[in-house]
Structure 1
């Protein structure tokens, strides 16, 4: 009869012995209570407790955790806006007791402080300032939480304002303003580009006119040089300067007629254009040159006479 009882006892003893050991994971703290009273805090590794006397009341993570809180409030310019505040926190290793026993719902406590700070800070700012000064809001939240949660064993690592979401109508208005501003800038750029094109075109035309004038001047200079050489050649064969000039003009007249005749679609008519016109032109020009020379000589004699008197 005794042999039948020993095996259950051994089996029960093994179960009790095995239940005396437990494992705590890395970055975790286990709370041990004895008959409902706090006994100790065990950290990562293989741990031992008294069976049926000690029990694991709970476990606390020592990792950095994040809590996202969405707060709806109103700005100074009466715009309703939703802010998403991300709070990164962890349980201080030396204050696991406070974190476990003093706060039953730490998330609710943190959320309440975030609501309090955001609704105290944002109503002081206009909507545009909320976007610009979101870091200031985050710093204010962290400062308030740090002071409040430190006594409960929580360390606030960082707070971030990760999203700012105004009312839909306000966003549409902001988008329209932004679009109008961009269109204004685009119009200014287009106007500047058009003005640059006009200025550059005017400069190009001015340069073209300058070069054209320079070309005409060079052409006339070469024509004058050619006329001078032609007059010298005609003087060598007994034709005076007046007759030579008239002959050159008549020659250019006929050259012009020939050039006009080569143009098939030309409607230009040069007058006079009769066969006798060339001879009359030559005689008239010679007579004109002779008369002008006579007048010039008479004026010189008259001026010389006045000087002698």
Structure 2
């Protein structure tokens, strides 16, 4: 029986057909299951349409969808993205420069925001860049080239603040707008470098002049202070000498009776003159001393005359 069935062509054909259909059904089942299962990567969202109508948003993970009736209409990245743009702008002082700026943005992670990003505006990223670039050009036209260097952070903050509300309407959050250093033409750059160099030389000269002025004023103050102290020393010295003269005069009056002021002064001058010569000789700092030839006689005579006058009075 079995050998006869193998020799039967119709039976063999039926077996082959059954096996082929089984394999085909298994293949179709695997294909159908594959179409049903949707795996969404991390930091990504899929927008599903059912018969051409937006149905739902799939977050990261595995999901089951109806094949053939539904399709993945949009794949939206939820990661922060960066767009670098170079714009030609004109400043207030009519200088055309290349301005490079960076836009940081991300799609908000909510079903409503993702739907708005997918359907509310066509190519929302391009729209955001276009509007931001227009505002940067407008703000640049209100600033000079020097202000562009010093206020570029303010430009970025202004653009970010002005465009944030509209961007949020189509599901985008602006993370930041960074304005890089302006790049003027080579001739303008060379002129600016020359200006900075001249300013640096001017500042250096001013600082050097100020240092010289301070040094001269300091020296003048020191000299004035020195002369003041020297004058005070001389004044104190003369005061001490006068005090010594007064005490000596009082001693002479008390010891020699009623001497006149003239006699006291004459005697003290004679004694001081003698002391001066003796001190000059003792110091050894002078090699020659000029002394009047009658100095000893004058001093002795004046002293004796004074004493005799004092005794006569007593």
How far apart, CA to CA, are the structure 1 residues paired with 2:138 and 2:193?
28
Q: CA 1:252–1:38 in 2, change beyond 3 Å: closer, same or farther?
A: closer
The alignment status of 1:74 with 2:98, answered yes or no, reads no
CA shift digits 1:281-303 (9 cap, x unpaired): 24346778999xxxxxxxxxxxx
How far apart, CA to CA, are the structure 1 residues paired with 2:302 and 2:221?
45
Contact 2:270 2:302 in 1 (8 A): no
Tell me by how many angstroms 1:184 deviates.
Answer: 3.1
Q: Which residue of 2 aligns with 1:48?
A: 64
- Which of 272, 295, 301 aligns to 1:281? It is 295
- Which of 136, 147, 154 aligns to 1:118? It is 136
Q: Which residue of 2 aligns with 1:60?
A: 76
- Which of 236, 245, 248 aligns to 2:269? It is 245
Q: TM-score, structure 1 length as denominator?
A: 0.69
Tell me by how many angstroms 1:177 deviates.
Answer: 2.6
CA shift digits 1:113-137 (9 cap, x unpaired): 3343333442343223334554564
Q: Which residue of 2 aligns with 1:211?
A: 229
Q: CA 1:142–1:289 in 2, change beyond 3 Å: closer, same or farther?
A: same
Tell me by how many angstroms 1:162 deviates.
Answer: 3.6
CA shift digits 1:200-221 (9 cap, x unpaired): 3222222222222222233334
- Which of 147, 157, 170 aligns to 1:129? It is 147
CA shift digits 1:36-76 (9 cap, x unpaired): 76554322332112245544344111333332221112212
Q: Which residue of 2 aligns with 1:270?
A: 289
Describe the SS at the equivalent of 1:164. Answer: coil
Q: CA 1:153–1:219 in 2, change beyond 3 Å: closer, same or farther?
A: closer
How far apart, CA to CA, are the structure 1 residues paired with 2:150 and 2:144?
10
Superposed CA RMSD = 4.1
Describe the SS at the equivalent of 2:183. Answer: strand
Q: Which residue of 1 aligns with 2:8?
A: none
The alignment status of 1:164 with 2:182, answered yes or no, reads yes
CA shift digits 1:174-201 (9 cap, x unpaired): 3333343344334334333333332232
Contact 1:69 1:114 in 2 (8 A): no
How far apart, CA to CA, are the structure 2 residues paired with 1:7 and 1:255?
141
How far apart, CA to CA, are the structure 1 residues paired with 2:154 and 2:233?
72
Unaligned residue ranges in structure 1 (runs of 5+)? 292-309
The alignment status of 1:96 with 2:114, answered yes or no, reads yes
Q: TM-score, structure 2 length as denominator?
A: 0.68
* 1:196-207 equivalences in 2 (<5 Å): 196-207=214-225
Unaligned residue ranges in structure 2 (runs of 5+)? 1-14, 306-314
Describe the SS at the equivalent of 1:169. Answer: helix
Q: CA 1:13–1:211 in 2, change beyond 3 Å: closer, same or farther?
A: same
How far apart, CA to CA, are the structure 2 residues paired with 1:80 and 1:181?
24
The alignment status of 1:175 with 2:193, answered yes or no, reads yes
What is the aligned residue count?
281
Q: Which residue of 1 aligns with 2:6?
A: none
